[in-house]
Amino acid sequence: MDSGLEAAGVGAVRVLVVGSAPWIERAATVLEDRSAVLVDTDPSRDLDPERLAAADCVLTDDRTVLREVDGRLPVVCAVEDVREADVEAILADGATDVVDARASDRAALLARRLGLAVASTDCDEARYRSLLERSSDLVIVVDDAGRITDAGSSLEDVLGFEATALDGEDVLGAIHPEDRPAVADAFDAVLDDPPGASRTVTYRYRRDGSWRVHETAFANHLADPVVDGVIASIRDVTRYYRVERELAESLERVSDAFYALDSDWRFTYVNSRAAELLGYSRSELLGEDVRELFPHGFRSELFERFETAMEHQESLSWEHNSESLGIWMEINVYPSATGLSVAFRDVTERVQYREALSALHEATSHLLTVDSKDEACEYVVRVADDVLDLDSIVYRFDEQHNELVPAAYSDELERAVGTPPRLAPDEGITWETFATGEPSVFGDVRESELVYNESTDVRSGLYVPLGEHGVFAAVSTVVDRYDEDTVELVELFATTAEAALDRIGRTRRLHDSERKLKRQNRNLERVNASKQIRQDIEEHLLRSDSREAIERGVCTRLVETDSCSFAWIGDSDPSGSRIRPRTHAGLDRGYLETVTATAVDDSAAEPSGRAARTGRPVAVENVADNVGDGEWRTDALSRSFQSVLSIPLVYDGHRYGVLSVYADEPDAFDDPFESMLADLGESVAYTIDAIQRKNALLADGVTEVELELTTASPLCRFADALDRRLAFEGATLQDDGTALAFVSLEPAIDADVLGASVEGIEDAMVLTASEDRTLVQLRVTGPFVGTIVGDRGATLRDLVCDETSYRATVDLPAGLELRTVLADFERHGLSASMVARRDRPSDDASSLGGPARKALLEQLTPRQREVVRTAYHSGFFEWPRRTTGESVADSLSISPPAFHKHVRYVEGKLFAALFEGVTTDG
């Protein structure tokens, strides 16, 4: 192709285009339209010698092509932005010229640049011009006198002047006066240096009314015929300088220590915090080898990690205990190709916090195993002292007294502030903390309105609630003693302490519930056992037909139980002062022969006597207690009796003796057993009473006993007061316990005289009177012989009181012993002795049989019985009648019709008993 543009002495330029970027394709297309350029495109980048020999130059965007061409052809290298590219490096790699990739769209410009590259056969001039024009830095040439002889196109951009205005001017003209000596020294030094040597200097340069920072590299090319001067490569580093300065200021402001090392382990930067911690000034550190300044550290794990970071180019972070500095450090290392950046901080407090937290964790693990709240409080105070170095106290809430009580506190606290007080509601900060449930911290507690004692030596105070249990408090005589870490640790520990106290409370309640359940189960078992014993004894009572059989069976069955080893039943002797054994079972060991059971209410008396005297159960849980209180205790212990329970046998106010049981262990008789035996005592007494009554009714004969009363009864005293002979005629027992008695007085007596006051006698009134005899009705409120013997099933046949004696005739049914009756007399304040005794048949043709009479009387009301008995003794039923119905009614304070109604009702009952169901007599 014909070239329209030729370099001097050169034909059409043959260009070998190498590369694959889009702009390469566009450049090839543009150049093919130029007659002065022959294009050979090689997308495969195959640079074999034949193709290189056929070309004048190479156009490429690949810097590796420069090495492959190796100077055999001029190479024009294209870059994306020539101002940002490192042109000097590209030229140094062998490029003849460097063009902007945007020139691919301008065919004429690109063709000329290729022609110039070919025209420079040795390439030095072209390389020089390209460096001068295309360098991203301002490049100027200065002769040895300091005048500018040549300059690149960026002169105006960097310095703000056109080249023509600066030709021949002193290069120092616009430099800051303070920096001119440094620039001059650098320039003079490079002049004296050998060819190729360079010097760099940084200075301030004034442009557009402000000072900028320039960095200039002087290179000695005076021996180069092309340059013939000193090349000054000037770069505006104002922006970088500002960034570096701001970075340095930022590093100074950070609280962490920071320093930088180069690849030879020398300090290149040290901030003030690092200099402070390392113990050197910044000037003493910069440029020094860290291994020489800190040889001990260099031989430690610290520098092993430094080397590891540099070798693997990986950032590292760890904690290190510096013995030389006496601190814990957190070290962060950031490696690079040129050195190592090290940032470290003092984390001693953090490590101490962590260690305290770990110690608390171990301590709280043990706290959760403590079994009592008192022990837990003591442990909390001990941990606060040992781990947290706190003088503390634990207040526990006393629900019973509604106050906070000091449960545990350290010795140091007591020495500092004295013995802690108990706190009532609204007394001090501690109570407020408990009431609100919120922790509180005071730098000086005296500034608080809630302070308990305004003159206290306490200054700092830390109060943390423990839920419903109380408050943990730490106090100090130093102001502002507690920091945030301490508060956080204490709150954490208090939470665990509260949980431990909760667990102890729950465990205690659970154990209490378990113990209560066990007690209930044991009580239930005892109740069931007691019920079984009672059932067995009650079955025995139902089958028994005599008092002896009852007493013998009860004792036998009691000693068959596990808790009872000996049992006996006794009754009062005729004097009522001693208890005589009736029967016993079990291991007596001679106890009854040795001990005298006196019926007295005295703690020293044998329990059987006390129970008989008081009518109440007597329990001795441990005979060995107060062993000196009564001789019977020594006798009992010598026979291994350690527990005693005595139960009186009482029914309807009548005593049938006392039942006593003994055990070989203390506290052998529990509440269910004692309650069962007390109830059983009444059942036994009732059964004895019922059998005696039954036997009395069914007996074929009775024992007639004549008694002489040695103590006057109310009737006898009544006779003595009237100076009359008194004979008992009959009586009706009232529901209130009194008796309506009928007596005859001889000789006769006037009604006016009956008003004499006698204790135990009331409402005396005349029913009938004759010349020698007066029939009197009266109410006996004191001891009445008829009532006493009647309660035992006996019958008062006669009672005569005269000036010579008081005698009573009593019919005793079979099975009723006289001594029992006499003992009853004694209990009612009377005394008697037997005068005569004889047995006689009980059947009397003139009287209604006992069972039939009782059955008939039970059909009558007390009032009906009173009416007919009064009528009977008044002679109403005799013929001729000794009194009228109106008179009897008047004595009873009822109307005559009411009287006759009662009489007719009783007569109807009597005749019905005789004739109902009977059709034939005889």
Report yes or no: 772 and 748 within 8 Å, Cβ to Cβ: yes
Q: Is the peptide bond before 295 cis (omega within 30 degrees of 0)?
A: no
Grade residue 4 by pLDDT with cuts at 50, 70 and 90: very low
CATH of domain 351-505: 3.30.450.40
Handedness of CA 284, 290, 292, 293 (dihedral sign): positive
- Name the percent of the chain lying above pLDDT 70: 85
> Looking at residue 854, what is its pLDDT?
65
- Which CATH fold topology does 254-346 show? Beta-Lactamase (3.30.450)
pLDDT greater than 50 at residue 121: no
**What are the φ/ψ torsions at residue 729 (nearest 5 degrees)?**
-105, -30
> Looking at residue 846, what is its pLDDT?
46
Flag whether the pTM goes above 0.75: no
Interatomic CA distance for residues 219 and 140, integer angstroms: 11
pLDDT greater than 50 at residue 845: no
> Looking at residue 6, what is its pLDDT?
36
Outline which parts of the chain fall under CATH 1.10.10. Answer: 848-921
> Looking at residue 727, what is its pLDDT?
92
User: Mean pLDDT throughout 508-527?
Assistant: 82
Q: Cα–Cα–Cα angle for 380, 386, 387, nearest 5°? A: 85
Grade residue 239 by pLDDT with cuts at 50, 70 and 90: confident
Ranges of beta strands (E only) in 30-166 are: 37-42, 57-60, 75-79, 97-100, 138-142, 148-151
Q: Which residues of 767-801 are buried (b: 16+ CB within 10 A; e: fewer)?
A: bbbeeebbbbbbbbbbbbbbbbbbbbbbbbbebbb
pLDDT greater than 60 at residue 573: yes
pLDDT digits 0-9 by tens, 265-309: 899 888 888 888 888 888 888 888 888 888 776 656 778 888 888
Outline which parts of the chain fall under CATH 3.30.450.20. Answer: 134-240, 254-346
Q: Which of 49-53, 433-437, 580-584 has the lowest mean pLDDT?
A: 49-53
pLDDT greater than 70 at residue 10: no
Q: Counting Cβ atoms within 10 Å, is residue 882 exposed (0-12), middle (13-18) or buried (19+)?
A: middle
> Looking at residue 246, what is its pLDDT?
62
> Looking at residue 43, what is its pLDDT?
53
User: Mean pLDDT throughout 427-455?
Assistant: 86
Query: What is the C-alpha radius of gyration for the chain, rounded to an integer number of angstroms?
Result: 67
Residue 656 has, within 13 A of its CA and on its CB side, a CA count of 24
Grade residue 122 by pLDDT with cuts at 50, 70 and 90: very low
Q: Which of 45-54, 127-136, 393-402, 540-549 has the lowest mean pLDDT?
A: 127-136
> Looking at residue 154, what is its pLDDT?
57
Grade residue 532 by pLDDT with cuts at 50, 70 and 90: confident
> Looking at residue 168, what is its pLDDT?
40
3-state secondary structure of 63: coil
> Looking at residue 254, what is its pLDDT?
58
CATH of domain 848-921: 1.10.10
> Looking at residue 569, what is its pLDDT?
93
Q: Which residues pair with 198 in a beta bridge?
A: 219
Average pLDDT, the chain: 80
Grade residue 165 by pLDDT with cuts at 50, 70 and 90: very low
Interatomic CA distance for residues 547 and 540, integer angstroms: 12
Q: What is the layout of strands, in order, in the sheet containing 257-262? A: 267-270, 257-262, 339-346, 327-336, 316-322
> Looking at residue 277, what is its pLDDT?
81
Q: Which of 68-77, 258-267, 304-313, 539-548 has the lowest mean pLDDT?
A: 68-77
Instruction: Say which residue, 258 or 357, is predicted with more confidence.
Output: 258
- Which CATH fold topology does 544-697 show? Beta-Lactamase (3.30.450)
Q: Quick count: other Cβ atoms within 10 Å of Cβ 756?
A: 10
pLDDT digits 0-9 by tens, 600-645: 888 888 999 899 888 899 999 999 888 888 889 999 999 899 999 9
pLDDT greater than 50 at residue 123: no
3-state secondary structure of 857: helix
Instruction: Say which residue, 884 or 121, is predicted with more confidence.
Output: 884
CATH of domain 13-123: 3.40.50.2300
Instruction: Say which residue, 430 or 844, is predicted with more confidence.
Output: 430
3-state secondary structure of 464: strand
Task: Identify the residue whose tokens are 């009959």.
Answer: 730
Q: Quick count: other Cβ atoms within 10 Å of Cβ 667?
A: 12
Report yes or no: 239 and 214 within 8 Å, Cβ to Cβ: no
Grade residue 567 by pLDDT with cuts at 50, 70 and 90: very high
- Please report the DSSP string for 238-253 in residue order: HHHHHHHHHHHHHHHH
> Looking at residue 697, what is its pLDDT?
64
pLDDT greater than 60 at residue 534: yes
Grade residue 5 by pLDDT with cuts at 50, 70 and 90: very low
Report yes or no: 524 and 392 within 8 Å, Cβ to Cβ: no
Residue 563 has, within 13 A of its CA and on its CB side, a CA count of 19
3-state secondary structure of 703: strand
Grade residue 2 by pLDDT with cuts at 50, 70 and 90: very low
Distances (CA, A) of 637 to 565, 622, 646, 670, 920: 13, 10, 17, 20, 73
Q: Which CATH superfamily is domain 134-240 in?
A: PAS domain (3.30.450.20)
> Looking at residue 9, what is its pLDDT?
34
> Looking at residue 445, what is its pLDDT?
84
Interatomic CA distance for residues 248 and 225, integer angstroms: 44
pLDDT greater than 60 at residue 198: yes
Q: Quick count: other Cβ atoms within 10 Å of Cβ 827?
A: 16
pLDDT greater than 50 at residue 3: no
> Looking at residue 406, what is its pLDDT?
92
pLDDT digits 0-9 by tens, 665-701: 998 888 888 888 888 888 898 888 888 777 766 666 7
pLDDT greater than 90 at residue 465: yes
Report yes or no: 801 and 720 within 8 Å, Cβ to Cβ: yes
pLDDT digits 0-9 by tens, 771-796: 888 888 888 998 999 888 887 778 88
Grade residue 133 by pLDDT with cuts at 50, 70 and 90: low
Outline which parts of the chain fall under CATH 3.30.450.40. Answer: 351-505, 544-697
User: Mean pLDDT throughout 910-920?
Assistant: 69
- Please report the DSSP string for 140-172 in residue order: EEE-TTSBEEEE-TTHHHHHSS-HHHHTT-BTT
Grade residue 816 by pLDDT with cuts at 50, 70 and 90: confident
User: Mean pLDDT throughout 411-425?
Assistant: 86
- Name the percent of the chain lying above pLDDT 90: 8
Interatomic CA distance for residues 251 and 249, integer angstroms: 5
User: Mean pLDDT throughout 144-167?
Assistant: 62
Outline which parts of the chain fall under CATH 3.40.50.2300. Answer: 13-123
Q: Cα–Cα–Cα angle for 327, 333, 335, nearest 5°? A: 155
Q: Which of 253-257, 663-667, 912-916 has the lowest mean pLDDT?
A: 253-257
